[in-house]
Structures are given as structure tokens and as C-alpha cells.
Structure 1
Amino acid sequence: MNVTSELKNRVLSRELLNRESILTLCQAPLDELCSAADEIRAHFCGNGFDLCTIVNGKSGRCSEDCKYCAQSAHYQTHVEEYSLLGTDEIVRQAKHHAEQGVLRYSIVTSGRKLGDADISQVCESIRAIKTSTDIEVCVSFGLLDEAAFRKVKAAGASRVHCNLESSRSYFPTVCTTHTYDEKIETLQAARRAGLSICSGGIMGLGESMEDRIDMALTLRELGVKSIPINFLNPIPGTPFADNAPLSDEEKRRIVAIYRFILPNTSIRLAGGRGLIVDKGEGCFRSGANAAISGDMLTTAGITVETDLQLLDRLGYQARLWNE
């Protein structure tokens, strides 16, 4: 029995692989690795596929210096800037996505965190969404505390998103205006408030495969069940504008290794999926079982209609997972 099959069987037996074992998968034959990862996905998650969309609820002028981000005020990226969208527009988009068959809708805002006035306004929007649709509402409002998250939950949101972005050791290369521990505390505050949590990162920031594995192990320790995997879409004007893109093969390997580490989670293809030649189909055959559909925050994405057709062809069924 080869190493990949041995590790697959250990995962199927509900063993949590250690870092040393996981590192051996970095050299495993790709097709063999991806097939094993897909088997793990089917065993733990079945054919459910968690599909969500996002709205850029507040754009630009961000105080943070994340080196990949078009919305940072530290860089000249010519991104569109606007304050928090009104309730009518946020609800309009939520209804549109719900009518298309999307089950989750996430409101994402730029900035270190939303202030009290914006929290009050967006809670009004969340309440309006919940009275007019059945869609689940997720939020990404920055580094909020437990009290703010309790307000968001009371309004009707069910999940909070806050990406770790990379490993603890590599994170200072990505951002210097807030810390890894602040991100972790944000996730823990959301959980204390009774919300589920969503967290992942961006691949292609210059990190090593070891960094990617270390981030996945941190997510496992935190008990995160929704894991967005973004692939860097280099934005002119940002410090990472000239980063070399990852190959499609490396993207499949990352997804497959994450499935070995996080067997019963929603591994969600997010930003940068449109850069993949097959729009992510290979990754959906390599352990991924969730996606952000439609446009991203500042870049174009893949339409919901196209994604639903792809899921049907692959034998997936859109449904909520890991509540």
C-alpha cells in the first residue's frame, strides 16, 4: 500500500493526521492524491455542496495594509470607494441571489471593523433580509468584539467570516496593522456570541506549502468548518502585484491536502477561481465541496447559473452544510 492510500485510510478511520504525515503528501502523485481526497470528501460530506454569494457592502478606504488588497488606503489601486450600502440595495441583492437558488449570502465590508452606527444600520438590513427571504446571512465586518456580534446574531445573521490569510509565522509578511491573535480572537468572540465561523486564507502570497499546512492545522484546532481557499488575483498597485500565479496543478494539490487535514469541512473555492482554466472543476474533483459564486469584492467571478450547471454535471446538490 502506498503512502497516500495509507494516510487516506487513516483519515477514513477518523484519525487526525500530524504535520509530519501531512508533509509527505506534498510529493505524492497528483492524480492519486486528488482521487483519495475526493473519496474522503464523499465519505464525510456526501454530495452536498455549499454555495454562497457575497456583496461588497462597503468599499475602499481601508486603514489596514494587507499587501494583496485592492481596498487598502495604503496603495493606489483605483478601486471604487463607497460607504455602507443602504438596506434597499442589500436586500435587493439578497432576494436576487435567493431566487437563483443560492442558500447563503454574505455582507462584506472594508475597514478594520464597522463602527457602532454602521452596525446598527446593517443590522436593520439583516432583519429586512430575514423577513423577506429564507437565505442564510453571513457577515464579514472586521475585528468586532463579542457584544457587536451578539447584535448581529440577534438581527438574524448565522455565520461570521474572518480569514487568517496564511500561517502565523508568515502573516507579518502579509499585514502589519493587525495581528494573527486579533483575528483568532475575532473568531472566538463570534463563536461565544453563538455564531458559526468561516475562515481560510489566500494561496499565492509568497508562502510555502508548509505555511499552507500550518494554517490548515490552526483552522482544525479552532474547529472551523467552513474553509474558504482563495487564490491570489494580483492587483496592480499592491505590493503583491507581481507575485507569480500558482499553477492549476498546485491549486488542486492544496485543495486535496486540505481535505486530508479537514475531512468533514466545507472547503470553499473563493477568490481567484476564475483564473483557473476549468473554473475550479478539477478542484471540485479533488476534495472541494463549496464555493463563492458570482462576483468577488473587487474582481469578476463566475455566474450562479454556470456554477449550478457545473454542480449538476458533477453530481453535487446545493444544500446547507456545517451549520
Structure 2
Amino acid sequence: MNSIRHYNEKVINGAMISKEEAMIIADAPLEEICSAANEIRKHFCGNHFDICAIINGKSGRCAENCKYCAQSAFSSTKIEEYSLLDTETLVEQAKYNDQRGVLRYSIVTSSKKLNEQEVDKVCESIRVIRNETGIAVCTSFGLLAEEQFIKLKEAGVSRVHNNLETSRRNFPKVCTTHSYEEKIETIKAAKRAGLNVCSGGIMGLGETMEDRIDMVLTIRELGIRSIPVNILIPIPGTPYENVKKLTNEDMCRIVAVFRFLVPNASIRLAGGRGLLADKGLKCFQSGANAAISGDMLTTSGISIEQDMELLKKLGYKAVLWNE
């Protein structure tokens, strides 16, 4: 028996979907899997919706060669470059998001990792943010060591973000200046330091559905329950500038399959959501239940006000989920 209803009931009864089963689900009629995935989301997550915002805390000049990234020194993009933002700027933006109902604020920086001096500097900023706002703080500072993650936790960070980006098989086609294993070790170091971890990937990097499923299975094995799903924005000047954009139907199928694999996770629409004509509406009815709101790192996003209206329309409630 290979019907979607069978797999839907299996997940709701507490069983885990295997890779082979996920591949079968991925080939089923779109409307059928989206409806079933939404049932799974309702069963495990209710109407909880995890909404966060990010700030580009350090821009450009990155020595890594990630082919999708406008901030890579290997790309010929014209982006604003600057060093680590000062405390006043980081706190001001934290307050802006806090006042508009955003529950988590993530500081993201370019480069393979922040150096020790930069970590100490940003820890001072995080302490002020935590003292002056009620917003939770997430950081994405690259391939840090456990000792640095401990410093961040002591400063008030509750979550660390580190995307796997794609499957182990596909990753060397995307980046060669650091490895998949380095990413996994970084995630494990953050968890040893007592931090929650957020990790997902970018859809549209030349990966297959099998690659996408493999990525989520790795994330599931790592015990991660916050999974950002980015859509590749083919930025002029990057090696992927001419890559075909994924469709709304593609993204609905992807998030629906992911929901079968990680039924209790926050599946978060992230970068590239603005490429979708409905800004993610159908994906939020197909298993997704979280989003990054506002502008992304080097591209425009969807305003917090628009997203709050969308949540109201869908009957979602903004809460910190899987914290």
C-alpha cells in the first residue's frame, strides 16, 4: 500500500518516513501531498508560526567560493561592503523588529568565520540587545569552535544558524573552500555548547529531489527542528546567475515532502520567497510554518507588516517554536 493517506497516517501515528518512502511521496500528485502535509503540520504544530528577521551584520569580502552568494570574493557583484556593525546599529534594528512582533532576531555575517576579536565585540552588542528588548537572538557567524559558541550563549544567544545548503553529494559542486564535514562539526559544537540550531538549504542549486531528501535526513539525524528553505535567487555576477528559477509548484512539493520527513519541525521559508507570486501563501498551506520576514542579506524581502497580515489570513499565531 503506497497511498499518500497511508504515509500520512503513519507519520501522525509517530513513525518516521524513510528515504525510499519520501521518494515515493515526492512523485505523488501535488495537491494530494500538499493537503496531507498540511494535516501533519496541524497535528504536530497546531497554528504556531515561528517568525524571525535577520540583519547583515558584516557584508562582503568573503574568501569562500559559494557559487550562489553575492558576498563571495569569487563573484563580480556590486554589493555594499562593510565590517562588523556597531552596537548602536544592531540594537536599533533589534528594537525595530521587536516592536513589530518579530520574535527572533538573527545577526548574520560574511566570511568563513568571525575571529576572536569580532566574537567578543558582537557579544557585547548581544548583551545590550537582551537587556533592552524582549527579542530572542540567533547568530550566523560561520564555522566557529565550541568555545566561541559558549561565549555567545553566555552573552544571551539562544540559537545558532548554519545551513548545510544541499546534500553531501551535491555540496562540492556548490563550494570547495570548506567542506560538508566542517559544517556538520560546527553544528555539533554549537549543540555541545547548549545552543539550539537552525539548519536548512537552498533549493535550485542543481540538486535532485533525492539530494533534497538526503539533506533533510542529515538534518533530522542531527536533531535539528528549525529548517530554513531558501529559493535560489540567480544574482547577476554569481556563477548561478542564469540558473532557471524554481516555480511555486516546485516549492510546494519540496516543503510538503520535508513536512513528511520532519513532522514537528519549523519549516521556514527564507531567502527568495519574494520570487513566488503569492509570497509563500500556498507553501504555508502545504506544510511550511515559519518564515524570515523583512529584507534578506543582499536582496529585498517581504515587509513584516505584509507577513503579519498573511499570518492573520491563514489563522496562524506568531510564537517562538522549537526554541
1:65 aligned partner: 65
What is the alpha-carbon distance in structure 1 between the residues aligned to residue 112 and residue 31 of structure 2?
Answer: 41
Aligned to 2:303: 303
Inter-partner Cα distance in structure 2 for 1:215 and 1:311: 28
1:73 counterpart SS class: coil
Partner of 2:268: 268
1:159-180 Cα distance to aligned partner (Å, 9 max, x none) = 0000000000000000000000
Amino acid at match of 1:193: A
Quick one: distance in 1 between partners of 2:239 and 2:25?
31
What residue is the counterpart of 1:255 in the other structure? 255
1:160 maps to 160
1:25-65 deviation per Cα after TM superposition (whole angstroms, max 9, x unaligned): 12211111100000000000010000000000000000100
Partner of 2:49: helix, strand, or coil?
strand
Q: Distance in 2 between matches of 1:74 and 1:159?
A: 30
Q: CA RMSD in A?
A: 0.7
Aligned to 1:317: 317
Question: Secondary structure in 2 aligned to 1:186?
Answer: helix
Instruction: List per-residue Cα deviations over 1:278-315 (Å, max 9, x = no partner).
Output: 00000000000000000000000000010000000100
2:157 aligns to what SS in structure 1? coil
SS at match of 1:40: helix
Aligned: 1:199 with 2:207: no
What letter is aligned with 2:256? A
User: 1:99 aligns to what?
Assistant: 99
Listed as ranges, the matches of 1:108-257 within 5 Å are 108-257=108-257
Cα displacement string for residues 93-123 of structure 1 (whole angstroms, at most 9, x for unaligned residues): 0000000000000000000000011111100
**How far apart are the structure 1 equivalents of 2:31 and 2:173?**
32
**In structure 1, what residue type is equivalent to 2:321?**
W
Runs of 4 or more, structure 1, over 6 Å off, are none
- Secondary structure at 1:236's aligned position in 2? coil
* Alignment partner, residue 78 of structure 2: 78
Q: In the TM superposition, what are the counterparts of 1:10-49 in structure 2 within 5 Å? A: 10-49=10-49
Which amino acid letter does the alignment assign opposite residue 236 of structure 1? P
Once the two structures are superposed, residues 244-269 of structure 1 have per-residue CA deviations (whole angstroms, 9 ceiling, x without a partner) of 11111011000000000000000000
SS of the equivalent of 2:160 reads: strand
**What is the alpha-carbon distance in structure 2 between the residues aligned to residue 85 and residue 163 of structure 1?**
22
Query: What is the count of residue pairs matched by the alignment?
Result: 323
d(CA) in 1 for partners of 2:17 and 2:85? Answer: 44
Using the TM superposition, give the Cα deviation of residue 75 of structure 1 relative to its aligned residue in structure 2, in angstroms.
Answer: 1.2
1:9 — aligned with what? Answer: 9
- 2: distance between equivalents of 1:92 and 1:70? 25
Measured against aligned partners, the alpha-carbon deviations of 1:160-217 in whole angstroms (never above 9, x if no partner) come to 0000000000000000000000000011000100100000000001110100000011
CA distance in 1, matches of 2:165, 2:39: 27
Distance in 2 (alpha carbons) for counterparts of 1:14 and 1:80 = 48
Take 2:139 and 2:111, find their aligned partners in 1: how far apart are those partners?
13
Question: Which 10-residue stretch deviates more, 140-149 or 16-25?
Answer: 16-25
Unaligned runs of 5+ in 1: none
Tell me what 1:88 maps to.
Answer: 88
SS at match of 1:281: coil
Q: Matches of 1:147 and 1:247 in 2, distance apart?
A: 42
CA distance in 1, matches of 2:128, 2:304: 23
Alpha-carbon displacement from aligned partner over 1:125-164 (angstroms, at most 9, x marks no partner): 0000000001000000000000000000000000000000
Which amino acid counterpart does residue 306 of structure 1 have in structure 2?
A: Q
Structure-2 separation of matches of 1:284 and 1:247:
15
Q: Give ranges in structure 2 of 5+ residues lacking alignment.
A: none
Q: How far is the alpha carbon of 1:2 from its aligned partner?
A: 6.0
Identity score, percent: 62
Letter in 2 for 1:280: G
